[in-house]
Structure 1
Amino acid sequence: MRNVNEVPIWEKSNLTLEEAAAYSGIGITKLRAMSNDENCQFVLWNGAKRLIKRRELDKYTDKAYSI
């Protein structure tokens, strides 16, 4: 049973690595490696917590030939 206050993953603006992996089909290890790059446009750091900007990740994967 889903929590009434739970926001669907496709409506969230920022995702955890686990949510981003489920959303995009890219593995957690690969997402971690991609977001470790200091020029990564789709990572948001909240202290030590890494969040993935969903819309920016979508833009990145739309343009990418391979990852």
Structure 2
Amino acid sequence: MKEVPIWEKSNLTLEEAAAYSGIGINKLRKLSDSEQCKFVLWIGTKRLIKRRLLDEFTEKMYSL
């Protein structure tokens, strides 16, 4: 089975998103708990991070 590189995936797990962005898992969890969070995708209780929207979000932020 071929593994897809993180930068080519559209949705990331919390662990992948933390490795990709440099933001800690707990901070990502806290940010994505809000219902207004645009970069989270819920599949039942599984939380996935939309990579492109996370990139856009971090580009606009001065600090987290």
| Bigger Rg over Cα | 1
- Where in structure 1 are there 5+ consecutive unaligned residues? none
Aligned to 2:27: 30
The two structures have a TM-score, normalised by structure 1, of: 0.93
Report the alpha carbon displacement of residue 55 of structure 1 after superposing the two structures with TM. 0.1
- TM-score (norm: length of structure 2): 0.98
Structure 2, unaligned runs of 5 or more: none
The answer as to 2:8 corresponding to 1:11 is yes
Give the aligned CA root-mean-square deviation in angstroms. Answer: 0.7
Paired with 1:41 and 1:64, the residues of 2 have a C-alpha distance of 14
Aligned residue pair count: 64
Task: Give the alignment partner of residue 61 of structure 2, picking from 41, 44, 64.
Answer: 64
**CA deviation after TM superposition for structure 1 residue 31, in Å:** 0.1
